[in-house]
Structure 1
């Protein structure tokens, strides 16, 4: 399994997932940079994501939806705040309405992704910082930890393919 650890820290208002992959940093970076590859792992296997926009630049935005088994679509947004290829990106994110407009019901969160080489492998540390303990708990209750485990669990198969597959 690729997920090494999941740490929910209520004092730091964070959820951190560490995963390791049998691929170099440049290859793992592609799964974030290329929206077609991102679609293949962002979200649990039964709730695939479709990225409608993905402007992978500082200040750029991404809009996507996840399709649940009954066909319902849950929309989300990202705004990239930092992109330092090939090993560091940060983005704010949250839920959106059907037109992609951010909704404040669950608040926004901030994600930091760091990739570091460990020999010919890569360690990915993805940390999400929340605005409040209530928001962290709400997202946890909605299955965020399990969803991230399942989503990241799909990355190995993707990395085994050529980078532009």
Structure 2
């Protein structure tokens, strides 16, 4: 397992996942910018993701859904706020209704992804910040921490397959 740590910080309303991979930064960046690679790990194994849209540029949007074991679909959206390839990505992330419209009541999470070279490995830090303690607790209750760990656990296999530099 590549996940080094996951830390909840209630004061900062944040959740941080740190993982390391036996691949260079440019290769790890591809699992974010390529929707076909992204959808193979963004959802945990029991809730695989399908990206219907990924405009990988500042101001770009993504639309995706995760399909549960019983066929239920949970939809989500991203709004990319910053890209500094290949080391930093920031986006707002939220839930969507069946038409893809944001579900305001669920709030928005802001994600900051940082990739850094550690020797011949890459350390990926995903910092998620929440709007309120209620929202954070709701996400934790929905299994966000476990889900993100399981999702990140799928990355090694993707990286091992091919690196098209």
Instruction: Return the TM-score normalized by structure 2.
Output: 0.98
Matches within 5 A, 1:7-18: 7-18=7-18
Q: Secondary structure at the match of 1:105?
A: helix
CA distance in 2, matches of 1:127, 1:106: 18
Residues 1:99 and 2:99 are matched in the alignment = yes
User: Which whole-Å CA distance do the structure 2 matches of 1:80 and 1:48 have between them?
Assistant: 21
**Any unmatched runs of 5+ in structure 1?**
none
Report the Cα distance in structure 1 between the residues aligned to 2:136 and 2:3, rounded to whole angstroms. 20
Aligned to 1:85: 85
Q: Secondary structure at the match of 2:43?
A: coil
Alignment correspondent of 1:128: 128
Q: Which residue of 2 aligns with 1:74?
A: 74
* SS of structure 2 residue aligned to 1:64: strand
| Structure 2 runs not aligned, ≥5 long | none
2:2 aligned partner:
2
1:48 aligns with 2:38: no
Query: What CA deviation, in whole Å up to 9, does each residue of 1:53-76 have, x standing for no partner?
Result: 000000000000000010011100
CA RMSD of aligned residues (A): 0.6
> 1:83, 1:7 → 2: CA distance?
24
Structure 1 residue 22: Cα displacement:
0.4
Structure 2 counterpart of 1:142: 142
The number of residue pairs the alignment matches comes to 164
Q: Distance in 2 between matches of 1:138 and 1:47?
A: 18
Q: CA deviation at 1:163?
A: 2.9
Whole-Å separation in 1 of the counterparts to 2:57 and 2:99: 22
CA distance in 1, matches of 2:113, 2:72: 29
Q: How does 1:16-55 map to 2 (within 5 A)?
A: 16-55=16-55
**How far off its partner does 1:105 sit?**
2.0
Query: Could you tell me how far apart the structure 1 residues matched to 2:161 and 2:64 are?
Result: 24
Q: Residue 113 of structure 2 corresponds to which residue in structure 1?
A: 113
